[in-house]
A and B are shown apart, each in its own frame.
Chain A
Amino acid sequence: MPKAEVVLSYVSTEPNIEVAPNMAAVQQMPTRTDWAEEEDSGLVQAIPPPQITRNKDGTETVVTVFLNEDGKRVKRTQRIKRTVIKKKENPRVAERRQWAKIGPEAGKPPGPRPDTTTLGENIIFRPVVGFKSGQAQEKNPEEDKKTDALKKMQIKCRICQGDHFTTKCPFKDTMAPEGEAAGAPPETDMGAGPAEGGLGIGGSSYVPPHMRKGASGASSGGERMGGKFERDDLATLRVTNVSEFAEEGDLREIFERHGRVTRVFLAKDRDTGRAKGFAFVSYADRSDAARAAEKVDGYGFGHLILRVEFAKKTT
């Protein structure tokens, strides 16, 4: 089948337009020598043909002189690089591409219409030998852990170590739970946190969550408000006295000069949408944060002077 050759040329232009400073200077530019033509164009000065010079690097410089809307002569210098991209196409396909659209699409400009054609999510398709159905890959690792824990979990009586619940123990009334004397809740084989962090089994009184076993110290990762949004407070600055017209972007701009900013939070009034006057800025690196605190503290922003200090640890 014959293949038609379509030559597409892509033109990249770097326009460099300059308006002629005065008419006298312009008139010295090379004009057409033919006086008759000049006569034809009447009062309008003859326009020289575009001058094309080839540069060494394969580009072309085109200098054109033309009249703009105000009737002024304009000299334009363009550097153009031409790239020829050859594409072979079936003539039938090329012909069909030129067809006028029909039906509801009639008269619409070429190119996909956003109401009918959209791009989907990026899909990675890698054919592999021995493909297993998606479930194995999509499984949540957390779920895995849970099921594992469930599998390992055995029911163990705290009184007699038998495989039944403590409440069902036949010695429930005659024996105290094991380890009661030591005052510490007995270790069970459950291994998982929730069991240990449960109510103080050994003691009879209520134990607040942060006092429970496994919740000692800040590193416990125990229950904390907003634990999911745990941030590194070490490199976080508290910025106060912020103008109420400030935007997060402005702050980011100021603070990014001193290091990589990971987060900018500007407290805003829920109703008015204006800044409340304080913000938090987190850095990736604490030394950057220290430097920024030093530099930006006292910086005039808007009509106010910023006050920057390290954020205090939330308790």
Chain B
Amino acid sequence: MRPILLQGHERALTQVKFSKEGDLLFSVSKDHTVCAWYSANGERFGTYKGHQGALWTVDVDPTTTLLASGGADNTIRLWEVRTGRLLKTWEFSTSIKRVEFSEDGRQLLGVTEKRMNQLSTVIVYDIKQDIEAEQDDEPALRILVDELPKVTVAGFSYLNKYIITGHEDGSVTQYDAKTGEELHNSPSHEDGMQVTDLQWSADRTYFITSSKDKTAKLHASDSLDVLKTYTTDTPLNSAAITPDPVQYVILGGGQAAMDVTTTSARQGKFEARFYHKVFEEEIGRVRGHFGPLNYVAVDPTGKCYASGGEDGYEVEREKEQGIRF
């Protein structure tokens, strides 16, 4: 298998996302642009320009008509995927760390950072799935995260029942997605080690979190019970679950960006690690990056996966199908 290297960004990538059918790949980077790529051949479809700051997050709705991005310019922007037209800008007082569409695409969630006396919030917008429609200015729901440490990642569970958030102290919280009420908080990762990523299984009944404590954990959406733990030897930035029938999880990480210059590529552990989802056992690694992996995403059809690195490369690979056991 020969990976496709995508070099559309000038700075470190922060997130990559596949469309629901897996044919388009969206990437955001600290260089203020969103890039869209055809996953089949690595052809760049285009870019979405307009943000004034580093971008932290991107998501595409299930119909691949709307694209949401958020970043350090304190805005969430909604784009039309096909034309690159900016449809809506929501402004906030702090930067946006995460956006995610709900499973049906009717709601959009955003996470604002806690900074300068501003509390971390999770905001939810109702999205009209029409490119001509005027989107609401006011959020449908605003969850103020007061008592808990700041939120780093968040997502909608199955049927928009819960909003699950990951926190700076390594805990995971479950909120009611309708009322915003806190239901359950579970300290799942080591104390003080922030949750760096949260990705869903195909049916969103369980999710995987990665953390700086060098582990990734599979949680049940309902109970927040830890189902599986994958232990590695490096701080993790991202974790993804492969769709059935392949029972893998892919973890990405590496040393913090500031320490990278002092380590060689081999020591840096800039590899995508494959673990067996059920047996919690490492089964292989794939090299290719010169810097830590900031995000790994799996094509929902299971054909390939993409990893975005601190080195500004985005690497897309055909994943071998089937399990050899």
CB distance from B140 to the nearest CB of A (A): 28
**Given the complex, which residues of A lie within 8 Å of B248, measured CB to CB?**
127
Using A104-B47, A122-B2 as known contacts, say yes or no to A117 and B7 having CB atoms under 8 A apart: yes
Among A97, A102, A134, point to the contact of B46 (Cβ < 8 A).
Answer: A102
Q: Does A105 reach chain B (CB closer than 8 Å)? A: yes
Using A128-B324, A131-B283 as known contacts, say yes or no to A111 and B41 having CB atoms under 8 A apart: yes
Task: Say yes or no: B43 contacts A92, CB within 8 Å.
Answer: no
Please report the C-alpha to C-alpha distance between residue A96 and residue B42 in the assembled complex, in whole angstroms: 14
Q: Does B24 reach chain A (CB closer than 8 Å)? A: yes
Q: Does B82 reach chain A (CB closer than 8 Å)? A: yes
Using A113-B43, A117-B4 as known contacts, say yes or no to A103 and B315 having CB atoms under 8 A apart: no
Task: Say yes or no: B43 contacts A117, CB within 8 Å.
Answer: yes
Task: Say yes or no: A102 contacts B47, CB within 8 Å.
Answer: yes
Task: Say yes or no: A116 contacts B47, CB within 8 Å.
Answer: no
Task: Say yes or no: B83 contacts A117, CB within 8 Å.
Answer: no
Most interface-central of A106, A127, A130 (chain B CB within 10 A):
A127
Chain A interface category by residue count: 35 or more
B 280-322 binary contact with A (CB < 8 Å = 1; else 0)? 0111111110000000000000000000000000010101100
Among A93, A104, A118, point to the contact of B23 (Cβ < 8 A).
Answer: A93
**Given the complex, which residues of B lie within 8 Å of A117, measured CB to CB?**
4-7, 37, 41-44
Most interface-central of A115, A116, A134 (chain B CB within 10 A):
A116
Q: Does B64 reach chain A (CB closer than 8 Å)? A: yes
Q: Does B115 reach chain A (CB closer than 8 Å)? A: no
**Given the complex, which residues of B lie within 8 Å of A133, measured CB to CB?**
233, 285
Q: Does A21 reach chain B (CB closer than 8 Å)? A: no
**Given the complex, which residues of A lie within 8 Å of B8, measured CB to CB?**
116
Name the residue of chain A whose CB is nearest to the CB of B84: A102
* Chain B 3-26 interface residues, beta-carbon cutoff 8 Å to A: 3-8, 19, 21, 23-24
* Chain A 239-265 interface residues, beta-carbon cutoff 8 Å to B: none
Please report the C-alpha to C-alpha distance between residue A117 and residue B21 in the assembled complex, in whole angstroms: 21
Task: Say yes or no: B1 contacts A103, CB within 8 Å.
Answer: no
Task: Say yes or no: B266 contacts A134, CB within 8 Å.
Answer: yes
Name the residue of chain A whose CB is nearest to the CB of B282: A131
Task: Say yes or no: B320 contacts A127, CB within 8 Å.
Answer: yes
CB distance from A20 to the nearest CB of B (A): 44
Q: Does A287 reach chain B (CB closer than 8 Å)? A: no
Task: Say yes or no: A122 contacts B285, CB within 8 Å.
Answer: no
Task: Say yes or no: B324 contacts A120, CB within 8 Å.
Answer: no
Please report the C-alpha to C-alpha distance between residue A266 and residue B285 in the assembled complex, in whole angstroms: 44
Please report the C-alpha to C-alpha distance between residue A126 and residue B63 in the assembled complex, in whole angstroms: 34
Among B41, B46, B319, B325, point to the contact of A103 (Cβ < 8 A).
Answer: B46
Q: Does B178 reach chain A (CB closer than 8 Å)? A: no
Q: Does B128 reach chain A (CB closer than 8 Å)? A: no
Using A102-B83, A116-B44 as known contacts, say yes or no to A134 and B23 having CB atoms under 8 A apart: no
Please report the C-alpha to C-alpha distance between residue A138 and residue B315 in the assembled complex, in whole angstroms: 23
Q: Does A110 reach chain B (CB closer than 8 Å)? A: yes
Please report the C-alpha to C-alpha distance between residue A105 and residue B47 in the assembled complex, in whole angstroms: 8
Task: Say yes or no: B2 contacts A123, CB within 8 Å.
Answer: yes
Task: Say yes or no: A120 contacts B7, CB within 8 Å.
Answer: no
Q: Does B106 reach chain A (CB closer than 8 Å)? A: no
Please report the C-alpha to C-alpha distance between residue A113 and residue B45 in the assembled complex, in whole angstroms: 10
Among A102, A123, A138, point to the contact of B266 (Cβ < 8 A).
Answer: A138
Task: Say yes or no: B286 contacts A125, CB within 8 Å.
Answer: yes
Q: Does B48 reach chain A (CB closer than 8 Å)? A: yes
**Given the complex, which residues of B lie within 8 Å of A124, measured CB to CB?**
1
Please report the C-alpha to C-alpha distance between residue A253 and residue B175 in the assembled complex, in whole angstroms: 77
Q: Does B38 reach chain A (CB closer than 8 Å)? A: yes
* Contact sample, A vs B, 16 pairs, CB 8 Å cutoff: A92-B63, A102-B83, A103-B47, A111-B41, A112-B44, A113-B44, A116-B6, A117-B42, A117-B44, A120-B4, A120-B5, A125-B319, A127-B283, A128-B283, A134-B271, A135-B266
Instruction: Name A residues whose Cβ lies closer than 8 Å to a Cβ of B.
Output: 90, 92-93, 96-97, 99, 101-106, 110-113, 115-131, 133-135, 138
Interface pairs A-B: 8 shortest CB-CB? A102-B46, A103-B47, A117-B42, A103-B46, A127-B283, A120-B3, A102-B84, A112-B43
Known pairs A105-B44, A116-B44, A120-B4 / 14 extra A-B pairs, C-beta < 8 Å: A92-B63, A97-B23, A102-B46, A103-B47, A115-B7, A119-B4, A120-B2, A120-B5, A121-B2, A121-B288, A122-B1, A128-B284, A129-B283, A131-B283
